Amino acid sequence: MPSQATSRPRILSAVRLENTSLLLGLLGLAVGAAVGVSGLSETRPLFGNDSIGNMAALAALVAAVVSGLITLTWVTPVNRPWFRSLRWWRLLLNVLGLTLLHAMLALLTTLAAFAVFQNAFEGLALDRWAGAFWVAAAGGLWGYITASSAMSLTTHSLSVLLLFLLGAGALSSASSASEPRWWDLRFSALGTSSDFSGLTFNMTLLVTGIALTTVGDFLAHDLGVWAVGAGERAWKVTAVRAAMLSFGVLVALVALIPVDVNKEWHDTAAQSLVLVFAVALVSFPIMFRRMTGSFQAVTLVIAALLVMLLVLYEGVDYLNTTAFEMGAGAAVFLWLLLFIRTVTAAVEELPHTTSEVARAPGAEAVEPVPSTDRAVTSES
């Protein structure tokens, strides 16, 4: 009979998870119907001020919040015991970050969809009941999507969602900016207005910052599994978690302190973010030399790209501030995504007996090893 230490934890079946997702989708449908019936009283356009699209986006946001909170509070901890073993404040931060991440995606994608519909069906307006139907559909769709996504989150899928949010938030803010030539100033100028554009930009950065701390916990879990199998020391995993926490806090500070509120503190947060990334760019490939050589090569390419951007910006004055900030930001998050993919691939290549725990949806972070100097466990 297998011992308790080596037996796999009980997890929810795929059928039960799908049934739960469908139930939360129905709950989202009910939320959307309530929002649509109460918020629409006459014929409305599909998109624009006081439109069906706005009501649908609100319904999608509320449905995503409700579905996310239920899933992350009651389902995810069952399938991922390491998740619930986190300290209470980290668990709370992770639930908050993941819920807000899905809520922002629901809001932005629903607004974008109805903007496309309005262009495709120019001049179309719907009465109260037809409009309420589409509002309910948006709520049901995002209730289901959020539940399914939260139940199957991995480090890689979470990082992809985060990159999608950054792109969608930046494009939404830029396309709705009241100042059409905002790009003549700097990228963070999008966050200086008090309209939808500024709110979207700052909320995107704030949610990204919170979600980065969650990525840090997921990444530390995967690295812990790999470190045990590869015989790496525990402090390296802790260092990566600390770096991701620093990334998240500094990105959130950039959002909370817009450049027009306090330029000095805003720039300090942004410069500190650059410094932390520079340290990570140099130290991660050195700390994890046992990983694939391609990651070291990619790191050199990213470093060369950043140097080229700096030369084009400061040296020959070819790029303006906005182009430099956008290029550097894209390079930073591309490197983080590639690092995460490298870690995921390294875990998958471990022997079955070592990596089975990492691949199982409800697995603990790692099993203890005899050498206390090298053992890596989930921080509780």
Query: What is the rounded distance in angstroms from the CA atom of residue 321 to the CA atom of residue 313?
Result: 7
Host domain of residue 57: 10-153
- Domain termination residue (choose one: 153, 173, 191): 153
276 and 339 co-located in one domain: yes
172 and 199 co-located in one domain: yes
Place of tokens 């969602």: 161
Which residues fall within 8 angstroms of residue 83, CB to CB, at 6 or more apart? 76, 77, 91, 94, 217
27 and 134 co-located in one domain: yes
Q: H-type helices in the chain, by residue range?
A: 14-39, 52-70, 76-79, 81-84, 88-120, 128-151, 155-175, 196-230, 234-256, 263-287, 293-310, 321-348, 352-359
User: Which among 340, 364, 342, 339 has a CA at the least distance from the CA of 354?
Assistant: 364
Task: Kindly report, residue by residue over 137-175, the tens digit of the pLDDT.
Answer: 999 999 999 999 999 999 989 989 999 999 999 999 998
Question: pLDDT class for 352, splitting at 50, 70, 90?
Answer: low
210 and 348 co-located in one domain: yes
**Selection from 131-145, 231-245, 255-269, 347-361 with the highest mean pLDDT:** 131-145
In a domain, 53, yes or no: yes
Task: Kindly report, residue by residue over 180-211, the tens digit of the pLDDT.
Answer: 888 888 888 888 888 888 999 999 999 999 99
**Position 100 pLDDT exceeds 90:** yes
295 and 146 co-located in one domain: no
Between the alpha carbon of residue 358 and those of residues 30, 63, 220, 363, 366, the distances in Å are 37, 31, 12, 6, 8
146 and 192 co-located in one domain: no
In a domain, 214, yes or no: yes
In a domain, 140, yes or no: yes
82 and 182 co-located in one domain: no
63 and 84 co-located in one domain: yes
Give me the pLDDT at residue 7, please.
Answer: 45
**Position 99 pLDDT exceeds 90:** yes
Which residues fall within 8 angstroms of residue 342, CB to CB, at 6 or more apart? 291, 292, 294, 295
125 and 169 co-located in one domain: no
Residue pair 266/258 in contact (Cβ under 8 Å)? The answer is yes
CA angle in degrees (0–180, nearest 5) for 250-251-257: 85
Query: What is the rounded distance in angstroms from the CA atom of residue 33 to the CA atom of residue 330?
Result: 39
In a domain, 4, yes or no: no
Residue pair 156/344 in contact (Cβ under 8 Å)? The answer is yes
Residue pair 91/217 in contact (Cβ under 8 Å)? The answer is no
How many separate domains does the chain show?
2
b (16+ CB within 10 A) / e for 27-44: bbbbbbbbbbbebbeeeb
| Phi, psi for residue 214 in degrees, rounded to 5 | -70, -40
- Domain termination residue (choose one: 153, 179, 197): 153
Give mean pLDDT, residues 337-364.
65
Q: Which amino acid is at 213?
A: T
Q: What is the dihedral of CA 191, 195, 196, 197, to 10 degrees?
A: -40
% pLDDT > 90, the chain: 51
| 3-state class (DSSP) for residue 368 | coil
In a domain, 174, yes or no: yes
**Position 13 pLDDT exceeds 90:** no
Give mean pLDDT, residues 317-323.
89
Place of tokens 């959020």: 146
In a domain, 276, yes or no: yes
Query: What is the rounded distance in angstroms from the CA atom of residue 55 to the CA atom of residue 114?
Result: 11
188 and 110 co-located in one domain: no
Query: What is the rounded distance in angstroms from the CA atom of residue 70 to the CA atom of residue 135?
Result: 21
Question: pLDDT class for 378, splitting at 50, 70, 90?
Answer: very low
- Domain termination residue (choose one: 123, 153, 183): 153
Place of tokens 């668990």: 91
In a domain, 5, yes or no: no
Q: How would you classify residue 231: left for phi > 0, otherwise alpha for psi between -120 and 50, otherwise beta? A: left
Give mean pLDDT, residues 275-290.
88
In a domain, 237, yes or no: yes
| 3-state class (DSSP) for residue 344 | helix
244 and 286 co-located in one domain: yes
Give me the pLDDT at residue 180, please.
Answer: 83
Place of tokens 């609100």: 58
| Phi, psi for residue 369 in degrees, rounded to 5 | -115, 160
Q: In terms of DSSP bridges, do strands 44-45 and 125-126 run parallel, antiparallel, or are they unpaired?
A: antiparallel
261 and 112 co-located in one domain: no
Task: Kindly report, residue by residue over 215-233, the tens digit of the pLDDT.
Answer: 999 999 999 888 888 778 8
